[in-house]
Amino acid sequence: MIDLTDEKPSKIRVWLAEVRAPFLTGAIVPVVLGTSVAWASTGTFLLDIFLLTLAAGIFIHIGSNVANDYFDHRSGTDDINLEYVRPFTGGSRMIQKGWLSPGEVFLESIVFFVLGGGIGLYLAYTRGVEVLIIGIIGVCSGFFYTAPPFRLVNRGIGEIFVGLNFGVLMTLGAYFVQTQVLAWEAIFPSIPIAILITAVLYINEFPDYEADKSVGKLTAVVRLGRKRAAKGYVVLMAALYVSILLPVFLNPTYWYTVLGLATIPVAVLGCKYALAHYEESLQLTPAYASTVTNHLFTGLFLSLSYLLIGFSVPPLYIPVWGALCLTVSLAFYYQAERKAKAAASMMPTE
């Protein structure tokens, strides 16, 4: 068991741990990106609509996280998981520690789905019925990711729906509520985010491999096996940067988005550790951290690209912004490497 937070915290911290607040960037990033694309395309920015969309996305994300905790407890996978690495894998552990009852966790998920759904209904009424369609797909697939009768993750399509929901649909939805138009212009920048949020889920499945396999939770890593899945992670990272470059070739006007390439060092770090330590849960920590960071940095760098387009910043300044973004990525790379080496030196040797 690999858990860095065994002391019982206050009740407030218990609830925050249950919602997994540090990972809510999964909802924040696509909303910020979709809004930035809308600004670049139309010059439209409605602050109140943006804040409501952000709140709805966060609430639905929390609802999905908490529901998955509950149903992973029901299936037994979190209860028998001995390789989890907090805070990345194995759920929040609030049920397993006895700090929240299963009923409390389930109720919490419903409350957040209702909050997110309520805001979604308001946005559908004021901005367009398309919001309702996007929201229904997001809520249903988030809840039924691990919930019966569908259990999308057991059917080998759970990761696809995560990428669809927290990549394409949230970005497109954020764009639509600003512009009231569905456009391919919002789809292309959403694809890197879809790949990355899928990669976050994917790499976090490695420590859960044995527990998931034993209860029939057929994640992509369980289906592939850890060794092949590590190579699959590299494929995801390669696809990420192809998805950033492809729109540039299709529409050179938007070549500013090459700023997204500045996260390549972060991806290299993740690939390096995934290939070397796919069977060692704790040693794989830099891969978990780098994938979450890559999702955040790439989303922010792409959002910055569209803001620069919206403000008509001359292309001359793009190398300067690119150098700044690359500096941030390299700083993370070297800091993560130092921490990993320090942790490895403290581990007992056989």
Least confident of 200-209, 242-251, 300-309: 242-251
Residue whose structure tokens are 């939805």: 173
pLDDT confidence of residue 347: 65
Q: What is the DSSP letter of 149?
A: T
Among residues 113, 178, 169, 104, the alpha carbon closest in space to that of 140 is found at 113
Residue 34's nearest CA partner among 194, 269, 209 is 194
Residue percentage of the chain with pLDDT more than 70:
96
Q: How many C-beta neighbours within 10 Å does residue 227 have? A: 11
Q: How far apart are CA 67 and CA 63, in angstroms?
A: 6
**290, 266 in Cβ contact below 8 A?**
yes
Domain boundaries, given as residue ranges, for the chain: 11-342
In whole angstroms, give the CA distance from residue 95 to residue 341.
33
* C-alpha span between 167 and 328 (Å, rounded): 23
Question: Nearest CA to 296 among 268, 262, 321, 324?
Answer: 262
How many whole angstroms separate alpha carbon 245 and alpha carbon 82?
Answer: 40
Residue written as tokens 């512009």? 179
Q: Which residues contact 45 (CB under 8 A, 6 or more apart)?
A: 35, 38, 39, 178
- Choose the weakest-confidence range: 72-86, 173-187, 234-248, 280-294: 72-86
| pLDDT number for residue 348 | 58
At residue 306, the pLDDT reads: 93
Check pLDDT > 90 for residue 203. yes
- Cα angle value 88/198/323 (rounded, 5°): 85
Identify the burial level of 147 via C-beta atoms within 10 angstroms of its C-beta, where 0-12 means exposed, 13-18 middle and 19 or more buried.
Answer: buried
Whether the upstream peptide bond of residue 314 has omega within 30° of 0, thus cis, is: no
For 256-282, how does the pLDDT look when each residue is reduced to its tens digit (9 = 90+)?
Answer: 889 999 999 999 999 999 999 999 988
Element (H, E) at 85: none
AA identity, residue 14: V
pLDDT band, very low/low/confident/very high, at 167 (cuts 50, 70, 90): very high
Which tens digit of pLDDT belongs to each residue from 37-68? 999 999 999 999 999 999 999 999 999 999 98
Q: State the chain's mean pLDDT as an integer.
A: 89
Predicted pLDDT at 349: 54
Among the four given CATH numbers 1.10.3470, 1.10.1760, 2.60.40, 1.10.600, the one describing domain 11-342: 1.10.600
Burial class of residue 189, CB neighbours in 10 A (0-12, 13-18, 19+): buried
| Predicted local distance difference test score (pLDDT) of residue 4 | 42
Question: For residue 39, what are its two tokens?
Answer: 């600004």
The answer on pLDDT for 189 being more than 80 is yes
Is residue 214 over pLDDT 60? yes
Q: Please, which pLDDT band fits residue 6 given cuts at 50, 70 and 90?
A: low
| H helix intervals, the chain | 11-19, 25-42, 47-75, 77-80, 94-97, 102-127, 130-143, 158-163, 170-179, 184-203, 209-214, 220-224, 226-250, 264-276, 285-310, 318-346
Q: What integer pLDDT is reported at residue 2 of this predicted model?
A: 43
Q: Out of 121-125, 172-176, 282-286, 315-319, which region has the weakest mean confidence (pLDDT)?
A: 315-319
d(CA 191, CA 293): 17
